[in-house]
Amino acid sequence: MAEVERPLQKMEKAREKSKEEKEKAKYRKELKKWEKVLKDYDTVVDYFLWKARDGKGIWGDVVVSPALLDQIVTLNPVCLEGQAEIIYNVFVYRCAKWHYSMEKADEYFTLSPTAPPAFAGVMNQRERYEGQVKSGLASAAQAVADYELLKHDERKYREILDYFEMGKKDEHILRALFIDRVDAYTGEGYSMISMAKRWPTIIADFLNMKSEWRDKKVIREGLKVTDVEASVLKTKNELFIEWKKLFFPDVRERYGRIKNLLESRRRSIDEYREWLKPYVNRLKLIKQHAEFKTAASNLTDITKSIQSPDGEVFTKIWFWKRISPEEVGKPMVIQGWGEIPLFDDWVKEHIILLEAKYDLIISEEEISALADAWSGGKGEWSEGRKGEGTGLYHKRLGERVAMYPTVQIDNRFLYYFFIDLDYVCDYKKGSSGPMVLEDQYWHFHPFLVSKNFVLLILLELEFKRRKFSKEITKLIGVKEHEEEYMKEARKMWPGDDVDEEEKIKLGDKWRKSWNDSKNNWIKRRSKLKKSLRPVLKYFIKLGPYEINAVQRISKTYALYFGAEIAELRNLIKETSYKISGQRP
């Protein structure tokens, strides 16, 4: 029976492998497709926002509805040097008091060939960080070189000590080591290798000797050799006994010393890399527009002149607030039975866009933990799980959520008032004279979005943070990446030292197969739903969210937009007036 099962098992494994390879090929093809689509967008959120603008909203499984034109506001306060950051800080802290959740999505600066004095400190600090990072990386590289040399010596001495340990049972090993490592270097005519021309069996005779044979007559009779060869073997045997007595304690002492230096150097490598993290972090935070855009950035910009010192700071801010308009007979919040899930099929379907944009993968289990933490932690993740990873990570996110007056996503509310704010501050200075002007532009782009889209926003920020951290650790070369490459090398060139824990157990294999079948069913369902969407939208409501943009959105939710935008606009105006001392 076992003979029949083996071919069947091989066929099943080959079929599973072929199926897995097809799934991987399909996934890679999908990634490449989205990489091309998202190439022209700074973020995945921007892709959906522009898609909503072009199609006058996205409805059904998700809601992304742009506000009316009269609510898209641009403000242009102009102030003196140092006043723009006061207006910015007042705006940020006041929005936090008004229960907005705020995140910075992007930030960079642009300089003309002659930078204004306001950017001198930034550029000097950037150059200082560059020097510190370069010297730190050079020190780490030298430490790695020293570590490899010490590792080579440690391996050699450990090999010799292993030979001595084996030589306690079989002295033949130590005698061979003596011939190869000691006697061979005594010179022509003195080494046993060169004497083999006269006595062809002298090496074999030496290997067959015993340490207690210290008399020439015993050696001659025991090995059946001539008197002259017995004299030579007696001398070599005395040298071997003396070498064994002196060399073993010396090697053991050297091994301990080198082992200590090796451990010290290994720890210093890790410490060098950890010390570099904050410097690389600060260096990468000070980024110019030309670093990640085209190298010809601002080449044709008429406002950037060689003669006039000019600098520009761009900041993209995302902030949102829950919204629920009052309606007759409608409860203010939905809670308990009938509550719409946060991490739904639409989010799962579009996670691949984040993976294509940021070249990262976050498991669905971890995304569920993140979603629960951002929404206040009402599920099984509220107290965290034991062990590393989710529990500690959830705790960190819980502290992060506590920074706001409210949770970032309130599951009781389906819709949110979301603003995509582009803040530009242009520092202008004349070629002569002390006057510096700060020309600000506040571009408000309001949207009505559903709570699952807010989850996508937070997930993109998490992907962005992890990619930033990954780039820093890869540049420095931390231990985690070393272990990753070692694991990859063991997988490509397997040996006899493969860890048994790396092999898939039967229970894990069954569980994996069950999860795969479950995920395939979900994929097939979403694929069928996607293919039938153009037809079904005329017969049924797709998704749990609003689809009637004209009557429902414009006459209920959008009524609040004007008041919210007016409040934010007046805040900036009032702050500008107070700083300047002028009134309109």
Looking at the domain assignment, is residue 97 inside a domain? yes
Q: State residue 392's pLDDT score.
A: 32
- Is the CB of residue 23 less than 8 Å from the CB of residue 17? no
Measured CA to CA, the distance from residue 369 to residue 459 in angstroms comes to 12
Task: Answer yes or no: are the C-beta atoms of 137 and 276 closer than 8 Å.
Answer: yes
Q: Cβ contacts of residue 50 below 8 Å, gap of 6+?
A: 41
Contact 568, 562 (CB under 8 A): no
Closest CA to 452 of 358, 363, 348: 348
DSSP symbols for 93-142: HHHHHTT-EEEEEEEEEEE-SS--GGGHHHHHHHHHHHHHHHHHHHHHHH
Is pLDDT above 90 for 8? Answer: no
Answer yes or no: do 46 and 155 share one domain.
Answer: no
Query: Tens digit of pLDDT for each residue in 457-512?
Result: 999 999 998 888 887 777 776 555 566 656 666 666 665 554 444 444 434 443 44
Residue 288's DSSP bridge partners are 109
Measured CA to CA, the distance from residue 383 to residue 395 in angstroms comes to 8
Residue 538 has pLDDT above 80, yes or no: no
Give 174's pLDDT tier (boundaries 50, 70, 90): confident
Would residue 89 count as lying in a domain?
A: yes
Q: What are phi and psi of 402, to 5 degrees?
A: -70, -10
Residue 451 is predicted with a pLDDT of 92
Same domain for 398 and 417, yes or no, is: yes
Residues 151 and 261 in one domain: yes
Asked if pLDDT for residue 356 goes beyond 50, the answer is: yes
Q: Residue 422: name the closest of 115, 20, 43 by CA.
A: 43
Closest CA to 304 of 282, 288, 283, 317: 288
User: Which residue shows structure tokens 């559903």?
Assistant: 450
Indicate the residue type of 87: I
In the chain, % of residues over pLDDT 70: 72
Q: How far is CA 543 from the centre of its chain?
A: 33
pLDDT average, residue stretch 444-453? 92
35 and 47 together in one domain: no
**What stretches of 441-505 show up as alpha helix (H) in DSSP?**
451-476, 479-492
Residue 368 has φ and ψ, to the nearest 5°, of -60, -40
**Ranges 28-32, 186-190, 263-267: which has the least confidence:** 186-190
Asked, for residue 306, whether it belongs to a domain, the answer is yes
Query: 217 is in which domain, residue-wise?
Result: 137-284
Rounded Cα–Cα distance for residues 362 and 343 (Å): 14
Q: What predicted TM-score, i.e. pTM, was given to this entire model?
A: 0.71
Cβ pair 320, 416 in contact under 8 A = yes
C-alpha span between 559 and 399 (Å, rounded): 34
User: At residue 166, does pLDDT exceed 90?
Assistant: no
Residue at 122 is within a domain: no
23 and 519 Cβ atoms separated by less than 8 Å: no
* Residue 383 banded pLDDT, cuts 50, 70, 90: very low
Residue 331, domain member (yes or no): no
Collect all residues with Cβ–Cβ distance below 8 Å to 322 and sequence separation of at least 6: 406, 410, 413, 415, 416, 417
Residue 119 within a domain: no
Domains of the chain: total: 3
The Cα 503–Cα 514 span in angstroms is 18
Angstrom distance (rounded) from CA 247 to CA 253? 10
Please report the pLDDT score of residue 514 as a whole number: 40
- Do residues 244 and 342 share a domain? no
Same domain membership, residue 278 and residue 372: no
371 and 241 fall within a common domain: no
Higher-confidence position of 10 and 134: 134
Q: d(Cα 152, Cα 305) in Å, to the nearest integer?
A: 59
Residues 6+ away with beta carbon under 8 Å from 417: 320, 321, 322, 323, 446, 448, 560, 561, 564
Count Cα neighbours of 130 within 13 Å in the Cβ-side half-sphere. Answer: 8
Q: How far apart are CA 514 and CA 508, in angstroms?
A: 10
Whether 440 and 318 map to the same domain: the answer is yes
Q: What confidence tens digit (pLDDT) does each residue in 270-318 have?
A: 777 778 878 787 877 777 766 666 656 666 776 666 666 778 889 999 9
pLDDT for residue 127: 83
293 domain residue, yes or no = no
Using CA atoms, how far apart are residues 148 and 430, in angstroms rounded to an integer?
Answer: 57
CB-CB contact of 566 with 446 (8 Å): no
Instruction: Flag whether pLDDT at 388 surpasses 60.
Output: no
Please report whether residue 186 resides in a domain. yes
Average pLDDT over residues 12-25: 71
C-alpha distance from residue 201 to each of 56, 215, 241, 297 (Å): 96, 19, 21, 81
On whether both 476 and 403 belong to a single domain, the answer is yes
Q: Are residues 184 and 204 in the same domain?
A: yes
Cα 342 from Cα 362, distance rounded (Å): 17
User: Quick check: 314 and 423 in contact, CB under 8 A?
Assistant: yes
Residue 533 vs residues 58, 536, 543: alpha-carbon distances, Å? 13, 5, 11
Alpha-carbon dihedral 260, 261, 267, 272, rounded to 10 degrees? 160
φ, ψ for residue 421, nearest 5 deg: -105, 125
Of 13, 468, 478, which is closest to residue 269 (Cα–Cα)? 478
Q: 152-166, 237-251, 497-511 — which is least confidently predicted?
A: 497-511
**pLDDT tens for each residue of 360-381:** 888 888 999 899 888 876 443 3
* pLDDT in the model for residue 478: 59
pLDDT in tens, 83-103: 889 999 999 999 988 889 999
What whole-number distance in Å separates Cα of residue 135 and Cα of residue 283?
Answer: 14
315 plus 274 within the same structural domain: no
Query: pLDDT averaged over the chain?
Result: 76
Are residue 34 and residue 52 in the same domain, yes or no? Answer: no
